[in-house]
Amino acid sequence: MKNRFNLVTVLFLCLIGVLTACEPAAQQMVSQANEPKEAGLQPLAEGSPNEPMPIVLGFSQLGTESTWRLANTRSIQDAANEAGITLLYENAEQSQEKQFEAIRSFIKQKVDVIAIAPVIEQGWESILLEVKQAGIPVIIVDRMVEMSDSSLYVTFIGSDFYEEGRKAGKYVKDKLTESSKPLGIVELKGTEGSTPSIGRGNGFREVIQARKDLVMLESAYADFTPRQGKEVMKKYLQAHGGDIRLVFSHNDDMAIGAIDAIEEYGLEPGKDIIMVSVDGTRQALEKLIEGKLNLVVECSPLLGPNLMQAVKEIMEGRSLPKRIVTPETVFTEVTAVDEVENRPY
């Protein structure tokens, strides 16, 4: 019994000894971690007080439907890289539901800012409320959202689609001299419910309605793709043939599809049928020079630098204008010549 008591006492004293020996080492580790490191001796950990964490931007892109869209994504990725901003990119493949999923995942990941290129205008109020409650600022890019509460986003960066439609309409009024007979127009619209389709369609009509001889024969959605542009144009030609004097296409990709359909039908695009389009891709400028397109209204996809600037300013606590409009021009067969070689998309 006495022996067992001695063994327990010895073990207890050893344990005290070990703990006492360890204490200074533990204290040393803590104090070392708090001491400023000597420059050049050890690499600084990311996010240390001397090197701020990079800004994280979650970007919900609506899809990959057109040449414009691919250039837009590239512009945003390149600009983020250059600005040292970490970009989380999600492609929604034309689905608003997928955009909601992407936005919810950005909230979970606690990004600093969320940018959204919305596929359609309606239905954003409740998801943007979720983002607001998470305390994350939102930038709307390219297309707009329809909502009563404008406090749900900081700024909208993109083109003036209504003005683009007006530019197209003004050209049509100048190009087609007044006639006693109706001059048939067909329209290739992009995605139903999307800002460019609504804005371009309204702007165009607002200008041409002043002329009674300019008659809209057909107007249908072709989703901004060359394949659907060609399909819809084929139907228009079957229904109206030579009565079509002019095509107004809401983007270059659909216009390229329509050119194919017109040539297959045996007519000359640009001559038998006047061709007006929007965007300004390299391929469209080449068609202008060939005489197969007559006018291209520019819509710039290069929104990346403006977006990164806005992200930085938000993070610095500065206030931004509610609307940042991209400056744009129009291209004809003459001005396309100077531009085509340098066109990055």
Q: Give just the sign of the alpha carbon dihedral 235, 245, 272, 330.
A: negative
Q: Which listed range, 61-69, 79-87, 208-216, 328-336, lies at the site for ligand AHR (CB under 6 A)?
A: 61-69
Q: Which residue, 128 or 141, has its beta carbon nearer to ligand AHR?
A: 141
Q: How far apart are CA 104 and CA 97, in angstroms?
A: 11
Question: Contact between 224 and ligand AHR (CB under 6 A)?
Answer: yes
Within residues 294-313, the interface with ligand AHR by CB under 6 A covers: 299
Q: Does 189 bind ligand AHR (CB under 6 A)?
A: no
Strands (E), the chain: 56-61, 86-91, 113-116, 138-141, 155-158, 183-189, 214-221, 244-249, 274-279, 295-298, 323-325, 330-331
For 277, the 3-state DSSP assignment is strand
Q: Nearest CA to 71 among 281, 254, 251, 250?
A: 281
Q: What angle do CA 129, 93, 148 make, to 5 degrees?
A: 25
Report, in Å, the least distance between residue 301 CB and ligand AHR: 7
Contacts of 239 (CB under 8 A, 6+ apart): 217, 218
Q: CB-wise, 139 or 278, nearer to ligand AHR?
A: 278
Helix axis angle, 226-240 to 252-265, nearest 10°:
40
Residue 258 contacts residue 226 (beta carbons within 8 Å): no
Contact between 333 and 271 (Cβ < 8 Å):
no
Q: Residue 249, interface with ligand AHR (CB under 6 A)?
A: no
With 0-12 / 13-18 / 19 or more C-beta atoms within 10 angstroms meaning exposed / middle / buried, residue 20 is exposed
Contacts of 81 (CB under 8 A, 6+ apart): 87
Nearest approach, Cβ of 55 to ligand AHR (angstroms)?
A: 25
Contacting residue, 118, 165, 184, 196, with ligand AHR by CB under 6 A: 196
Binder of ligand AHR out of 69, 167, 189, 245 (CB under 6 A): 69
Measured from the CB of residue 284, what is the shortest distance to ligand AHR in angstroms? 10
Strand 214-221: give its sheet, edge to edge: 214-221, 183-189, 244-249, 274-279, 295-298, 330-331
String marking each residue 141-180 x if it binds ligand AHR according to CB under 6 A: -xx-------------------------------------
Between 197 and 294, CB nearer to ligand AHR: 197
> Which residue has the closest beta carbon to ligand AHR?
68
Q: Does 256 bind ligand AHR (CB under 6 A)?
A: no
66 near ligand AHR (CB under 6 A)? yes
Is position 187 an interface residue for ligand AHR (rule: CB under 6 A)?
no
Least distance (Å) between residue 142 CB and ligand AHR: 5
251 binds ligand AHR (CB under 6 A): yes
**Least Å from the CB of residue 293 to ligand AHR:** 14
> What span, in angstroms and rounded, lies between the C-alpha atoms of 257 and 243?
19
d(CA 345, CA 281): 6
CB of 111 to ligand AHR, least distance (A): 23
Among 59, 65, 92, 152, binds ligand AHR (CB under 6 A): 65
The verdict on 68 binding ligand AHR (CB under 6 A) reads yes
**Of 2-10, 62-70, 127-135, 302-310: span binding ligand AHR (CB under 6 A):** 62-70
Residues that bind ligand AHR (CB under 6 A): 65-66, 68-69, 142-143, 196, 224, 251, 278-279, 299
